[in-house]
Amino acid sequence: MQNPFEKLSRDELRERVVAIVSECAEIPPERIKHSESLHRHGVDSLAGVNIAYEIGLLAGRDVPSVLVTEHDTIEKLVDYVLRS
């Protein structure tokens, strides 16, 4: 199955992931540090499930609901999406 993100640059994908995290966790995007744990930004388990769901919608497939727990920074989420 083709990765729908493969045509995006890493920076473009990072911007999309930041937008998802910002919306789901109600954090202004400019406050999100890409290498800092999302839990330190106040992302709780419910927001984490919503983030996983939104990333899954963009990817066109299901992603595990524990995605944010296992990949807890923007950079790790971007790496996950690029590898998937």
**What are 6-65's pLDDT values in tens digits?**
678 899 999 999 999 999 999 999 999 999 999 999 999 999 999 999 999 887 888 998
Buried b (16+ CB within 10 A) or exposed e, 51-83: bbebbeeebeeebeeebbeebbbbbbbbebbee
The domains located in the chain, with CATH, are 10-83 (1.10.1200.10)
Token digits of residue 42? 């106040």
Higher-scoring residue by pLDDT: 67, 61: 67
pLDDT at residue 6 in the model: 67
Instruction: Check whether 4 has a pLDDT greater than 70.
Output: no
Amino acid at 41: H
